[in-house]
Structure formats: structure tokens, C-alpha cells
Amino acid sequence: MKVLITRSIPKHYVEQLESVAEVEVYPETIKPMPREALLESSKDKSIVISMLSDTIDKEFIDNNPDLKAVINLAVGYDNIDIDYARSKDITVCNTPDVLTETTAELAFTLMFVTARRIIEANELVKEGNWVGWSPYLLAGLDVYKKTVGIFGMGNIGTALAKRCIGLNMHVQYHNRSESEAAKALGANYVSFNELLETSDFIICTAPLTNETKNIFNKDAFKKMKSSVIFINIGRGGHVVENDLLEAIQNEEIYAAGIDVLNNEPVGKEHPFLSEKRITVLPHIGSATVDTRNAMIELCIKNAELIIEGKKPVSEVKNN
């Protein structure tokens, strides 16, 4: 079988796959594979190991008559038209579980960084503007003993809840259904409106679906406390960005920490970047060496199993 990997990965992983398949690797580490190159290179491939920046849509699938599997180097798969892929008997895999703890750590970190105004403090010193001490110099908000509302109580949300409970935070959550794991931790299931109205921190960890797209909009932000900190590590599509910007500028909410945006990457002209109360990260939720290695290893394992005619270990079951 022929395999396309749409981003450069460590050589030893490529060599491992080359022992069972013919492998083509796009040589760039950071820049996404251009659309035309993606369509051209994938034409004769049976397996594509894709990134979130690759749009695997009807055009892509129809362009690849030999395609048997798409293996996404991510836990999310909203870049893939999964229903159309299934209609063509194409297997779709992702990388769940291996990134759970690392991504929860990033949400936890972003909560602290935003609440304690760490980025502003670092810039103050680097720019030579630290001229003395004052009682309220860059005073932020406490985290411990506050109420955190987690939107999306899957594996990542549950791992995040454990960390928050360790800070004596009151944990409440909203999900499609109640979570037994969350219940065992002592987290309270609440309606979406109650989550918005009563949380001191609101953290979105949910996957993007038709139901959750643009769910954090003008109406949602108006229901939040003026002291709330909003964190999004889920997907950019959950948030109407202009509505979040207005909520910050109108002081309807206190601050935001964002790891995911609607159109990534963004340039320095993006309006979020001129707001001191919005911390923006370049989609690094699972970005540790250990976790990225584990994600790649899972992709390679799935590809090997498919080549052998066996069932992959992390096929996406439900959409």
C-alpha cells in the first residue's frame, strides 16, 4: 500500500512504516501542505495520515479512488467529512486517550496564566516598564475555592476536573448527558444556562458538533458574570469571535484564554492580539514531546494494522 503523511515527522517513524508500505512525506514541519499539493500527492494513496489543517472533504475523497483510511494526528476530526468518508467505506482514525492528561494540563495552565495576568507581567519586565512595586500592580484573580464550569465532560474534561478539585474548586459541568466519572469525583451536572450564570471560570473542552458550533455567542457572554474568565481549548468553532471580543471590550467578562481559533493560523492583525485581557496560544493543547510521540506512534500503529488487514485500535466510531 501507499501512504501519504502530510507533515514532516521524525525519521525513525517513517522508516518503521516504510518496512510495510511505500511512504511519501511532505517535508515541511510547520507549514500546512498546500491544497493542490495535497490533492495531487494523495491521488494514488491508500492511507493518508493527516493533520487538523488538512481539509478531508468530498472533493478530497472523490479525488482519491484508492483511499481506504484517513488517520488524523489529533483527537478531533472536524476537518474530516466523516459521514461522506463512511459512505465510501473509508476508515477514519484519530488519537484519543494518549493526549488527555497533557491537554488537561494546558487548560489548567491557561486558567492560571489568564487569571494571574502572567503574560502581561512578563511583558512589563521585558519592556523595561517595571519601575517599582505597588499594592495592585498587575493584580489578577484567585483560582482556588472558585467555581469552575466545564463545558464538555469527556476524558479531557474529567482529567481537568480532577485537577480543579485538588485546588478545592467547586466543579460543575454541562455535557450531552451526565457523566458517571464526573459524579464519582463530586462534580455537579447543571444546565448550560446555569453553567454560564454561576461559574467563575468557564472552560470549553468539548468536541465541535453541529449542536455546539457558535454556542459561545453574544447571548452566552451576556449571561456570564462580569468577573468570569473564559477558556477555550476545544475548537475555535465553538466561539463567535466578534462576540467574545465585544464582551471583553465592553467589560461584560473579565478575561479570556484561547488555544483554538476559527481560522488557524492567525496573523498579528487578529483583533484578539491587541487585547491585554485575551491570552492567545497557537493551538498547543497536546504539545509536549512525550505526547506528540505517542500520538504519532498511534497513527503508525493504526496504519500498520490496516495494511495487515486488521482492525485499527482507534477508529472513530460515532460522529
Q: In the predicted model, is pLDDT for residue 109 greater than 80?
A: yes
When the pLDDT of each residue in the chain is averaged and rounded to a whole number, the result is 97
Tell me if residue 235 is catalytic: yes
Give residue limits of the domains in the chain. Answer: 2-94+288-308, 99-280
Q: 140-172: per-residue pLDDT in tens?
A: 999 999 999 999 999 999 999 999 999 999 999
Catalytic residue among 117, 235, 238, 292: 235
Mean pLDDT within 188-192:
99
The answer to whether 2-94+288-308 and 99-280 have equal CATH topology is yes
Give me 199's grid cell.
Answer: 461559574
Q: Would you say 60 and 82 are in contact if contact means Cβ atoms under 8 Å apart?
A: no
Residue range 2-94+288-308 in CATH 1.10.3720.10: no
Residue 94 identity: N
Would the pTM of this model clear 0.85, i.e. be above it?
yes
Catalytic residue among 7, 174, 238, 283: 283
Residue 319 confidence (pLDDT) = 59
Residue 218 confidence (pLDDT) = 99
Tell me if residue 283 is catalytic: yes
Q: How far is CA 47 from CA 25, 185, 188, 319, in A?
A: 12, 40, 43, 21
Distance CA 276, CA 140 (A): 12
Residues 6+ apart with CB under 8 A from 80: 50, 56, 57, 70, 72, 92
Distance CA 118, CA 278 (A): 12
Distance CA 171, CA 203 (A): 11
Q: What is the DSSP string of 103-132?
A: HHHHHHHHHHHHHTTHHHHHHHHHTT----
Q: 215-248: per-residue pLDDT in tens?
A: 999 999 999 999 999 999 999 999 999 999 999 9
The CATH H-level (homologous superfamily) assignment of domain 99-280 is NAD(P)-binding Rossmann-like Domain (3.40.50.720)
Catalytic residue among 22, 28, 40, 264: 264
